[in-house]
Structure 1
Amino acid sequence: MEKPGRWWRGKSTPAKVEAYTRWCYYFIATTEIFTFGPTGFGEVSTPLATALLLIVTVHALLCMVTIPASLDWVLGRRPRPVRRLVVLSVSTLVAAVTVLALALHAPGGGVGRAGGQMYFGMIAFGLGIASLGVRRHKRLPGLVVGVAVAAALICVPVGQSGGEVLAAGLAVLISGGFLAFTSGFSVWLLRAVYALDEAKETRARLAVAEERLRFGRDLHDILGRNLAVIALKSELAVQLARRSRPEAVEQMIEAQRIAQESQREVREVVRGYRGVAVDTELAGAQGVLTAAGIDCAVSGTAAAGLLPGEARSALGWVVREAATNVLRHGDARTCVIALTVDGDRARLTVENDGVRDGAGATATTATSGTTVAGARTPGSGGSGLAGLRERLAVVDGSLSAGPVVGGRFRVVAEVPVRGAGGSPGQTGGSGRGAGSLGTASHGEASLGADGPEREQEQGPGPGLGHGLDQDRPATADGGTYMTKRAADGEEAA
């Protein structure tokens, strides 16, 4: 059985407000029973008091049945519960008149104090619950006044004096009006909370869409003109080659130069789109979390300058993903982010409270095959913590994540401060950059040397710019189709 604390922490903020509103109305309906039900005992005979208690209890149960259907209609989850609202209204009228009729049998032959309290009490509570089904809140004042007048007029046929009739009308006007306007405010507040939550999600989607448009626009501006020029010069080179003109070689050299320039410009666009740095992400995470009402403490920003370029980028993705998880998968109030350098290892720790149930119930490490709750395995191309594990593996780093004592969640990432054969602040690029296109004497960039950099920029996570080389068929020696073609060209040369 799920513990109440975990059940509550597992809800989003709008869901918490909704649950609080529902249980407040259930409590109001229960209050009707304990406030007006026992008043008949001691005032009238026990059988009559029991009958009055039963009537009040049935009316309160009808109110409880109407509450969830009305709130679901308010949130747009179901049609308006017209039948339940009509049943509640008619039952309230019948119960109020029945209470007056039964109270006439009280000692002394008149309506006792218990009957009067039950009368205006049931009308007030019924009016308050029925107000949940009012489509336009501007009609609430007229509805309250009309019900109060009707309640006063009903007392006239049973022989009540003018003062008693006026007292009944005022009692219904005050108590019923309070409950009705409370219902109207609760409905407005509930709708506003869900609207704000939806607006926040819409704003995030618009930001993503805007960034996609920017990225597509940059690629179009870069590739559109250059591809047109390459096509034109290639066609010209073909025509010249058919005529055995030596100018064909110059045109192809120019087309090659433009293609390499386009490749460099696209790489710069992707680098600007995908590239992250831990110091920048630390400042950004603190600003975003603070704006969301989370007390965020960041330390160790100066230590970022001691890290190699790849390590800074990998830890930057850890900060970004951890901050996103704090915002989306919990109801955190505090978050502590610390970056420390100890010897040849850098350690980044992100710890927050307000962990939802199931948001991090399974710990994971970078060297194990354990998956994180809510994250797919790296082999499946998933994102989240599984993607971070892949990013850190590129720089020989490690990642651990899981709940800790006190209902908190901790993410710890470690990377080496010095890369293999490199120095702090430099990106290691050895090993995978052996195969290059062109020579240094031509002043052209090496495609192989940029291979690890591009892979690090793209990373395993989702996003635009990812998979620029995915559609290129691999060759037997592990290279891509483009690099194979270039190598064949060099041999031919």
Structure 2
Amino acid sequence: MRRPGGWWRLKSTPEKVETYTRWSFHFFGVSEIGGIGLATYSQVGPGFATVLSLMVVTHAAACMATTSRALDWTLGRRPPPTRQLWALGVLTALVAVVAIALAEHGPAGEDVDAAALGVFVGVQGFGVGALALGVHDRRRRVMALVAGFAVGAGLVAFAVGLSWSGALVTGGVLLLAGAFLAATAVFSVWLLKAVYALDDAKETRARLAVAEERLRFGRDLHDVMGRNLAVIALKSELAVQLSRRGRPEAVDQMIEAQRIAQASQREVRDVVRGYREADLEVELAGARGVLSAAGIVAEVTGETAGLPAQVQSALGWVVREATTNVLRHGDAEKVTVVVRRTEGRVVLTVENDGAADADGSPAGGSGLAGLRERLSGVDGTLEAGNAGKGVFRVTAEVPLPPATGAGREVAP
């Protein structure tokens, strides 16, 4: 059973930022309801306050729906919400006009005028902030949107009887409030897109690392096979020509070609064996470099000198797989790798923060299952699982041959 809050830890960093951004915009809608709609109950009678509150609630719900669709469009999941944006703009203007009309033709009293004016300015401010999401990629359009609503609010306020100074103040307040909310919306979208771009860059670096390793392997094979195949082809052609002429040297050339082919087979096996057998020191250095490139702090302690080749190979694969799991599954900020030798055994520990809960951990994955098989070949063991809140730990133990098991600590 998943622990409470596990859904949040299962999310990647971009998904967390997206969730935070989305609910922040929804909170703006709740703030509009509480700060403008419900506030009218403390200013006017319940009947008139209910009418104003229903108008504000309707407008806030439309803002929430529009911002949600606009965010999906920003992330490339939906087409542009053009209709929703126009509908929200019309609804914002309509609610504002109705509010000011109620102030003009509704119950008399300064409190009524103040409540209606608050709704008039407030819904336009929040509406501008929501509408800015639909034109966030065009700075001039955002500025025109803010200025247009501010000027329109001032003209409407002056038309219904406010003095020119009062209309100017009304337009100025809406200009400041709309500019603040629009800037907040634009910056939030920019930050969200930047986080997703950084995450894509992280995945690109991982793919480039894999591609570079494949190129290295291909170069090694080319260096081994290219020259030898050219020589074999030349020897074979020479043997054919000598054989057609009935020369006995053809046999010698074929024997030489056979020898080169067998030597090539051995060299290819050596290349593949070197590719398959991981060197612990090389893997530790590679893990430190890959993690640092991904923006993760990597601390590696311990010495590998004097460890048998089969032990280094087995533990090197553990480092490689653990590093891959950190990059793919977790949201780590720090990874600690410790190699120590004690009581005739070598213990490798890889620990990272930012791990998912038990249900989302890679402990049961095929990669770690393969590591257990490799370690069993050298009588080693592997343990993987959560080691505290948000901490995932992989521990591998491999026994040392009696001649090397000195029982001393190599790393603290």
Normalised TM-score (structure 1): 0.75
The letter of the residue matching 1:137 is: R
Distance (Å, rounded) in 2 between the aligned partners of 1:213 and 1:284: 16
- 1:385 alignment partner in structure 2: 368
- Does the 8 Å CA contact 1:348/1:412 hold for their aligned counterparts? yes
Single out whichever of 48-57 and 286-295 deviates more from structure 2: 286-295
Of 409, 412, 422, 2:392 maps to: 409
1:262 shift after superposition? 2.2
The letter of the residue matching 1:334 is: K
SS at match of 1:41: helix
1:16 shift after superposition? 0.8
1:21 and 1:127, CA in 2 relative to 1: closer, same or farther beyond 3 A?
Answer: same
- 1:193 alignment partner in structure 2: 195
- 1:487 alignment partner in structure 2: none
SS at match of 1:335: strand
Higher helix share: 2
- 2:410 alignment partner in structure 1: none
- 1:213 alignment partner in structure 2: 215
Distance (Å, rounded) in 2 between the aligned partners of 1:58 and 1:360: 40
The letter of the residue matching 1:35 is: G
- Does the 8 Å CA contact 2:44/2:111 hold for their aligned counterparts? no
Q: Percent identity?
A: 58
- Does the 8 Å CA contact 2:329/2:361 hold for their aligned counterparts? no
Single out whichever of 100-109 and 129-138 deviates more from structure 2: 100-109
- 1:336 alignment partner in structure 2: 336
User: Are positions 1:350 and 2:327 aligned together?
Assistant: no
- Does the 8 Å CA contact 2:44/2:112 hold for their aligned counterparts? no
RMSD over aligned CA atoms reads: 2.5
SS at match of 1:305: coil
- Does the 8 Å CA contact 1:48/1:102 hold for their aligned counterparts? no
Give per-residue Cα distances to partners, 1:451-485, cap 9 Å, x unaligned: xxxxxxxxxxxxxxxxxxxxxxxxxxxxxxxxxxx
- Does the 8 Å CA contact 1:144/1:177 hold for their aligned counterparts? yes
1:185 shift after superposition? 1.0
Distance (Å, rounded) in 2 between the aligned partners of 1:275 and 1:110: 81
- Does the 8 Å CA contact 1:44/1:106 hold for their aligned counterparts? no
Query: Across the two proteins, how many residue pairs are aligned to each other?
Result: 403
Distance (Å, rounded) in 1 between the aligned partners of 2:316 and 2:153: 68
- Does the 8 Å CA contact 2:202/2:294 hold for their aligned counterparts? no
- Does the 8 Å CA contact 2:70/2:133 hold for their aligned counterparts? yes
User: Are positions 1:142 and 2:125 aligned together?
Assistant: no
- 1:165 alignment partner in structure 2: 167
The letter of the residue matching 2:70 is: S
Of structures 1 and 2, the one with the larger relative CO (CA 8 A, separation 6+) is 2
Distance (Å, rounded) in 2 between the aligned partners of 1:187 and 1:170: 26
Q: Give the gaps of 5 or more residues in structure 2.
A: 406-412
Distance (Å, rounded) in 2 between the aligned partners of 1:202 and 1:338: 28
Single out whichever of 97-106 and 170-179 deviates more from structure 2: 97-106
Distance (Å, rounded) in 2 between the aligned partners of 1:3 and 1:138: 47
1:14 shift after superposition? 0.8
Single out whichever of 98-107 and 216-225 deviates more from structure 2: 216-225
1:401 and 1:101, CA in 2 relative to 1: closer, same or farther beyond 3 A?
Answer: same
1:248 shift after superposition? 2.9
Give per-residue Cα distances to partners, 1:402-451, cap 9 Å, x unaligned: 223434222111212128xxx659xxxxxxxxxxxxxxxxxxxxxxxxxx
- 1:222 alignment partner in structure 2: 224
Question: What pairs up with 1:1-16 in 2 under 5 angstroms?
Answer: 2-16=2-16
1:161 shift after superposition? 1.3
1:345 shift after superposition? 1.8
User: Are positions 1:125 and 2:126 aligned together?
Assistant: yes
1:4 shift after superposition? 4.5
Distance (Å, rounded) in 2 between the aligned partners of 1:207 and 1:290: 13
1:242 shift after superposition? 6.6
SS at match of 2:256: helix
Normalised TM-score (structure 2): 0.89
Distance (Å, rounded) in 1 between the aligned partners of 2:153 and 2:399: 79
Of 288, 295, 301, 1:286 maps to: 288
1:406 and 1:42, CA in 2 relative to 1: closer, same or farther beyond 3 A?
Answer: closer
1:216 and 1:86, CA in 2 relative to 1: closer, same or farther beyond 3 A?
Answer: same
The letter of the residue matching 1:73 is: W
- Does the 8 Å CA contact 1:285/1:323 hold for their aligned counterparts? yes
Distance (Å, rounded) in 2 between the aligned partners of 1:236 and 1:177: 84
Distance (Å, rounded) in 1 between the aligned partners of 2:378 and 2:319: 16
Q: Give the gaps of 5 or more residues in structure 1.
A: 364-371, 377-383, 426-493
1:335 and 1:221, CA in 2 relative to 1: closer, same or farther beyond 3 A?
Answer: closer
- Does the 8 Å CA contact 1:10/1:357 hold for their aligned counterparts? yes
1:180 shift after superposition? 0.6
User: Are positions 1:395 and 2:396 aligned together?
Assistant: no
SS at match of 1:154: helix
- Does the 8 Å CA contact 1:43/1:112 hold for their aligned counterparts? no
SS at match of 2:340: strand
SS at match of 1:44: coil
- Does the 8 Å CA contact 2:300/2:336 hold for their aligned counterparts? yes
SS at match of 1:255: helix
- 2:234 alignment partner in structure 1: 232
